[in-house]
């Protein structure tokens, strides 16, 4: 017991079982767990491909996504060099799907990121401050909560006018109350634990305590919830586009494509299913990847 040599009285402990050596730091152990999680790696690859396809759309798309043709409407897969056929205005579907990823991913990620920052901050403030501050913040959020999310998004973007930026702002406003509540709950749970009191007893200020002891414990639940919102956001955005708010035709967008192709469901069911499949694959991959990252980051697993 060389490590107790400095004690004036030698104290021996029965529970000092020789532990397994642990030399990794936090991030390298996260990396280790991620590398040994083939499912997350696979879905992460899919997400990466979707994002890359959206970024490099001009290089990948075989046709101009805006080029219409009266004769080529609703052609089947592989028709005259159109790998996935054409839509109801004769535009190449594959090109539109690739380009559509741009606005769909933006509409999926940007509002969620805004909501994480704003809603998360409000939630942590409310959860940590407690009492009146918390009541003021959470009751305000409850007002927004009272509306169905679709209705709220429609109302806000209707009031602000169409367009992609307004659509994103509207969706962010829809997500902020829910995000705020998740962060508030997680913060309130941590706040009452002894280690917060111990930190306060050390003489740490509120900001330092939140920065070092609260955020790490709140990030997990917020992260999970945010990832599930990405797919919701893509779908809500498509709903907005459908109603003439958000993305405007002829801009390629998965949600918009879904709603315009909807009329042709009996003529070309497969073409009609494509944008839906794109939304589905993207959202499920986002969910699975974020779940995998969360498990890898959880020190308790």
Binding region for other proteins (CB under 8 A): 1, 3-4, 6-9, 11-16, 18-19, 21-26, 193-195, 197-204, 208, 212-213, 216-217, 299-300
Residue 212 DSSP code = I
Q: Which is nearer to other proteins, 129 or 204 (CB)?
A: 204
Cβ atoms of 86 and 148 within 8 Å: the answer is no
Q: Which is nearer to other proteins, 136 or 193 (CB)?
A: 193
* Distance of closest approach, residue 149 Cβ to other proteins, in angstroms: 31
Q: Which is nearer to other proteins, 14 or 266 (CB)?
A: 14
Cα dihedral sign, 60-63-68-69: negative
Distance CA 46, CA 289 (A): 10
Distance CA 141, CA 120 (A): 12
* Main-chain dihedrals φ then ψ at residue 82, nearest 5 degrees: -90, 105
DSSP lists the bridge partners of residue 82 as 79
* Distance of closest approach, residue 23 Cβ to other proteins, in angstroms: 7
* Distance of closest approach, residue 33 Cβ to other proteins, in angstroms: 14
Q: Which is nearer to other proteins, 82 or 213 (CB)?
A: 213
* Distance of closest approach, residue 41 Cβ to other proteins, in angstroms: 24
Residue 19 DSSP code = P
Q: Which is nearer to other proteins, 208 or 263 (CB)?
A: 208
DSSP lists the bridge partners of residue 79 as 82
Distance CA 198, CA 180 (A): 26
* Distance of closest approach, residue 279 Cβ to other proteins, in angstroms: 34
Distance CA 184, CA 190 (A): 10
């Amino acid at each position: 017991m060389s490590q107790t040599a400095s004690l004036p009285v030698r104290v021996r402990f029965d529970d000092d079982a020789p532990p397994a050596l642990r030399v990794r730091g936090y991030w390298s152990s996260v990396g280790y767990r991620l590398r040994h999680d083939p499912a997350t790696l696979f879905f992460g690859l899919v997400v990466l491909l979707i994002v890359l396809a959206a970024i490099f759309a001009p290089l990948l798309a075989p046709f101009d996504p805006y080029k219409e043709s009266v004769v080529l409407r609703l052609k089947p897969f592989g028709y005259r060099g159109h790998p996935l056929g054409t839509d109801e205005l004769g535009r190449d579907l594959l090109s539109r799907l690739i380009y559509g990823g741009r606005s769909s991913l933006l509409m999926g990620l940007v509002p969620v990121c805004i909501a994480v920052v704003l809603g998360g901050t409000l939630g942590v403030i409310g959860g940590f401050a407690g009492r009146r501050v918390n009541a003021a913040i959470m009751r305000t959020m409850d007002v927004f909560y009272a509306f169905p999310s679709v209705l709220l998004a429609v109302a806000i973007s209707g009031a602000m006018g169409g367009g992609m930026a307004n659509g994103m702002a509207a969706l962010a406003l829809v997500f902020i109350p829910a995000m705020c509540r998740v962060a508030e709950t997680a913060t309130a749970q941590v706040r009452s634990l002894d280690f917060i009191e111990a930190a306060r007893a050390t003489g740490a200020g509120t900001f330092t305590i939140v920065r070092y002891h609260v955020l790490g414990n709140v990030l997990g639940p917020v992260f999970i919830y945010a990832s599930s919102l990405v797919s919701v956001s893509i779908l809500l955005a498509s709903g907005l586009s459908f109603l003439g708010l958000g993305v405007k035709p002829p801009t390629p967008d998965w949600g918009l494509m879904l709603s315009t192709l909807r009329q042709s469901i009996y003529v070309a069911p497969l073409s009609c299913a494509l944008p839906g499949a794109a939304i589905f694959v993207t959202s499920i991959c986002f969910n699975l990847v974020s779940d995998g990252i969360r498990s890898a980051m959880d020190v308790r697993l």
